[in-house]
Amino acid sequence: MSTNNVESRVIKAPVAKVWSALKKQDFEFWSLVKSVELSSSPSEVGSIRTTTFADGTVQKHRLLEFSEVKHAFTYEIIDSEPAVASLSAQHTFKVIPVTADDTSLVQWSSEFSSEGSLEAVMDAKYKKLDALNELAKALEN
């Protein structure tokens, strides 16, 4: 049995602007991220993204899916130092147009395997909310 977590936020910016910020996968808008190094193009399925967080945690993420048409990408954590409670999870960003007012709905979802602990799910929830708030601040100016 798997556990899902979805967080979302409406951002007062058009899809093209929001997608442009997210598809690079550099997370420069998020204060918890210190640096990101890509092994190849951010849209190349199979590419590895090494993310160093402000607390010193280093994670490697593998890109599983990328769609310019659907404004979405999916990745998995393949390594983490220190270790995380649940490595077996898929995480997806998706940007959906809100046509009534030319804003964007950003969804960041995770599907944890049965090994996903409540602690890991709740940690992901609050980090996602924080990141989405910071993305909104960066793009709504």
What domains sit in the chain, N to C, each tagged with a CATH number?
A: 3-139 (3.30.530.20)
The model's pTM is 0.91
Q: Are 36 and 15 in contact (CB under 8 A)?
A: no
Question: What's the pLDDT score for residue 126?
Answer: 93
For residue 105, give the H/E element and its range.
strand 103-112
| CA gap 67, 30 in Å, rounded | 22
Helix (H, G, I), strand (E, B) or coil at 99: coil
Rounded to a whole number of angstroms, the CA Rg of the chain reads 15
CB 74 within 8 A of CB 65: yes
As a whole number of angstroms, the distance between CA 80 and CA 112 comes to 16
Enumerate residue ranges in the chain where pLDDT < 50: none
Position 87 scores a pLDDT of 58
pLDDT of residue 122: 84
Question: Tell me, what's the pLDDT at 71?
Answer: 99
| Confidence (pLDDT) at 115 | 63
pLDDT of 114: 65
Q: What is the pLDDT of residue 18?
A: 98
Which residue type occupies 11?
Answer: I
Predicted local confidence at residue 101, as pLDDT: 97
- The burial class, CB within 10 Å (0-12 / 13-18 / 19+), for 30 is buried
Instruction: Name beta bridge partners: 11.
Output: 104
Q: Which amino acid does the sequence have at 69?
A: V
pLDDT at 84: 78
pLDDT in tens, 94-126: 999 999 999 999 999 998 876 657 777 788 889
Give the helix ranges, DSSP H, for the chain: 15-23, 118-139
